[in-house]
Structure 1
Amino acid sequence: MNSLFIALNLIKRTIGNRRGFLLFIITPALIMSLIIGFAAKQDEKASVLYINSDEGPVGRHILRELEYTGRYRLSVAATPDAMRTAVIEHKADAAFIIPAGFSEGLKEGRGMHVELLELSMSEASFTLRMSVDQTIRQVSMAMRGLDASGQADDRLNLVLEQVEKHQVRAARTDYGWYASPVLGLATGILLMFLMGLVNSSVSIMVEDRKQKTMTRIFTAPVRAYEIMLGNFLGSFAVGTLQIVLVLTFTRYVMNFSYGLPFMQHLLVMECFLLAVIGIGSAVAGLIRNSENIGAVNSMVSAPTCMLGGCFWPVSIMPEFMQKLANFVPQTWAIEAIRRLGLGQGLGDVAMHLSVLGLFALVLLGIGSVVMKPGETEAG
C-alpha cells in the first residue's frame, strides 16, 4: 500500500500538470503522427504538369506511358509561365514540355529532348526524367526498325498502340522481406521520448533529495524496498501510458501499419521502458546538484539515442561505433522491432529482450543502492 501511494504521487508530479501531460503524453503522439503522415505523403502520386505541343503520335504515347506507371498525377498547364509558377510555389512536384515537331524530329533521326522543369532534384523529378527518356529510347528503336523495313510512316501508330496495351506485365509481390522504411525512424523517435522520462525521474529525485523529502521518507516506518518499488511503479505507469497512447493513436487513428502485432510491439517497448527506468534511477543517484540536471540530456539521452540508431541506421556508422552501440538499450530495442517487422517471432528476439531485461536489472540494482540518502549524502 505504501508503494502505491508513492507511485501515485510520482505520477501526479510527472503528468499531473499541463506541462508534464503535454510533454510526455500529447507531444510524442503528435510528433509520431507527423512523421507517419509525412511518410504517407511520400507514397502518394507526384503532381506533374505538362504541355504537349507535339501534333504527332509520340507526344501522346509519352503521356499514356507515364499514366500507366501509376506514379504521377498528370495535369495540363495553360501556359509555360503558369507551369513555372506552379513549380516554384510547390503546387507541382515537376513539369515538362514536349516541343512542337517532336514526332517528326525523331522520325528524321534528330536528337529530340523533353524540357523538364524542377525546383530542385527530387525523387519525383528524377524518376520522371528516367521514365520519359526510356520511353523516347524505345520509340527511337522502333522507328529505326521500321525505317529499315521502309514502313515507318504506315506502321508507327500501330506499333505504339501495341506497346500501350502492355500485354506482358511485371507483377509485384510483397513477401514481407523488408520492414516498413518508416518503422525504424518512428521507433527511434518513440524511444527518444521515453528517454525523456530519465530527465523527469532525475529531476524529481534530485528535488526530493534537495528538499530532504527523501531523507524523511527513508526515516519513516516504510521499508526501503517499498520506496524503490513505489518510484518504479510510478515511472513504469507513466511510460506505459505514453507507449500505449502513441501506438494506439498511430495504429488505429492514423491507420499506420508497423508490420508487427500490437502486443509484440508493446512487449519490446515495455522491456525498453524497464531499462530506461533503470538508467534514470542510476543517474539520479549520481547527480548531487539540481543545476547539473541539464547535463543528463547531453551526456546520457542524446548520445545513447544517436549511438543506438534512433536517428540513422547503426550499419552506416564506423565499425568501432557499431560495437559501442551494443552497450546501449536503444540498439537492442530497435533491432528487436525490426526483426518482428520482418515477420520473425518472439523466439527470434528472445536474446534482445533478455539483454534489455539485464540492462534494467543491473541499473535498477545500482539505483536502489546509490539512492539511499544515508549512503549518498553527508550529514
Structure 2
Amino acid sequence: MNSIKIAANLIRRLLKDPFSIALILILPLLGGLLSVFLFSKSSTEKIAMANIEQKSRLIKAIEATGAFKVSIADEKEINQLVKEKKVKVGVIMPENQKTAANGKAQILYIKQDSNVMKINTIIDNFLAGEENPSANFTGEPDAQPSNSSREPNAAIGFLLMFIFMFAGTCMNMILEDKNSKTFTRMFCAPVRNYEIILGNLLADLILGIVQIGMFLITAIYILNLDFGVSALSLFIILVFYLIASIGINIALAGLIKSAQALALLNFIMAGCMSAMGGSFVPVSMMSSDMKAVANFIPQKWAMEAFDKLIAGNSFIDLQLNLLILLLFGAVFFTFGVKVLVPAEDEM
C-alpha cells in the first residue's frame, strides 16, 4: 500500500514537469510522424523477376499494392542485382508454373522484412491459383497501397530512444530528492526500504507503459503504420526494454550526484546506444567490432526480437532476447539500489 502511495506521488510530480509530459505524449508521436516522413519519399521497393512476362497477372498484382516496382531480368543476373542492393528482392519463377512439382519460386533477399514476406505471400497465392485454375487469384487481399510500404523499424528505433530518455527523467526526480535529503528522510520514516524502491519502480513502469501505449495507438490507428507483427507482441517487447532502461538509469543515478549531469549523460547515451544498437541502422550492416559492442546494448536485443517476429518466428523464439533484457534491468537495478540506499550514518 505504501508503495502505491509513493508511486502515485511521484507520478503527480512528473506530470507537473513539461519535459516529462513531452517525453510521454509528444515525442513518441513526433517519432512516428518523422519515420513516416523519412520513408514516404521512397514508397516503392524495386523487385527483379525472371522467367515471367511483363504483362503477367502476377506483376500487375504486385505493383497494384503501390509498394513495389517490378523489372524483368535474366535468371543469371538476379543474384548479382540483390547482392549489389540494386533491387530489394529477386524472384526466379519456376519455368513450368502450372506443375505442382516445379511450382515453387526462388526468393532472393539480403534481409527479410515485412516487404519480403508480402512478396512471398502474393507469389504463393499466384502459384496456388495456377495449379488450381478454379481459384480466384486477387493478389494480397489486405494490401494497403500507401501505408504498407513504410519501414516500421525507424518508428520503433525512435521509441526506444524516447523510452530510455524518459527513464532518465524519472531518475532525475530521485536524484533531486537525494540531493535535497528528501530521499534520505523517506528512509527514516516507518516504511520498509523495499516499499520505497518499489514505489519508484512502479511509477516509472506505469508512465513508461502509458508512453508505449500512446505510441502504438498513434502509429497503428492514426498513422496506419504496418509493423508486420501483432500489437501485443510488440507491446511485450517494449515493456521488457523499458525494464532494462529503468535498471540502467537507476545505476546511473547511483553513480552521478548532479541531476544536470545525469540528464546530459542520459541524452547522449540514448542517442549513441540507439545508433549502435541497431535502432536506425541494422546491426547486420555494421563492422564486426560494432556487432560485438552491440551485444552489450539493450536496444540491439529489442530490435532483434522485433526482426525475429517480422521474419516469421513465433513469440516463443524471443525467449533469449526477453531474458537478456530482463537481466539488463535486474543487474543494473540491483547495483543502483545498493548505491542509492542511504548509509546508516547519513540517516
RMSD between aligned alpha carbons? Answer: 3.8
Does the 8 A contact of 2:153 with 2:279 survive in 1?
yes
Q: Which amino acid aligns with 1:5?
A: K
Does the 8 A contact of 2:23 with 2:166 survive in 1?
no
Does the 8 A contact of 2:6 with 2:200 survive in 1?
yes
TM-score by length of 1: 0.63
Provide the residue aligned with 1:220 in structure 2.
189
Give 3-state SS (helix, strand or coil) of 1:344's partner. coil
More helix by share: 1
Provide the residue aligned with 2:222 in structure 1.
253
1:365 and 2:334 correspond:
yes
Q: Which amino acid aligns with 1:32?
A: G
Q: Note the C-alpha offset of 1:373.
A: 1.8
Give 3-state SS (helix, strand or coil) of 2:33's partner. helix
Provide the residue aligned with 2:287 in structure 1.
318
Separation of aligned partners in 2, 1:322 and 1:254: 32
Provide the residue aligned with 2:120 in structure 1.
175
Give 5+ residue unaligned stretches, structure 2: 46-59, 73-96, 98-104, 106-115, 123-147
In structure 2, relative to structure 1, the CA distance for the partners of 1:194 and 1:350 (3 Å cut) is same
Give 3-state SS (helix, strand or coil) of 1:373's partner. coil
Residues 230-269 of structure 1: pairs in structure 2 closer than 5 A: 230-269=199-238
1:279 and 2:248 correspond:
yes
Q: Note the C-alpha offset of 1:201.
A: 2.1
Provide the residue aligned with 1:163 in structure 2.
none
Provide the residue aligned with 1:308 in structure 2.
277
Separation of aligned partners in 2, 1:263 and 1:69: 29
Q: Note the C-alpha offset of 1:176.
A: 6.2
Separation of aligned partners in 2, 1:335 and 1:195: 17
Q: How many residues align?
A: 273
Residues 28-107 of structure 1: pairs in structure 2 closer than 5 A: 28-40=28-40, 42-43=42-43
Provide the residue aligned with 2:173 in structure 1.
204
In structure 2, relative to structure 1, the CA distance for the partners of 1:298 and 1:194 (3 Å cut) is closer
Q: Deviation per CA, 1:143-163: give whole Å up to 9, x if none.
A: xxxxxxxxxxxxxxxxxxxxx
Q: Note the C-alpha offset of 1:297.
A: 2.7
Separation of aligned partners in 1, 2:324 and 2:215: 24
Q: Which amino acid aligns with 1:175?
A: N
Does the 8 A contact of 2:20 with 2:166 survive in 1?
no
Provide the residue aligned with 1:185 in structure 2.
154
Q: Note the C-alpha offset of 1:288.
A: 1.2
Separation of aligned partners in 2, 1:41 and 1:241: 31
Q: Deviation per CA, 1:203-251: give whole Å up to 9, x if none.
A: 1111001111000001000000000000000000111000011001111
Q: Note the C-alpha offset of 1:180.
A: 6.9
Q: Which amino acid aligns with 1:373?
A: P
Give 5+ residue unaligned stretches, structure 1: 46-66, 74-123, 132-167
Identity %, equivalent residues: 33
In structure 2, relative to structure 1, the CA distance for the partners of 1:68 and 1:331 (3 Å cut) is closer
Q: Deviation per CA, 1:13-53: give whole Å up to 9, x if none.
A: 223344421232122113212312543453279xxxxxxxx
Does the 8 A contact of 2:172 with 2:263 survive in 1?
no
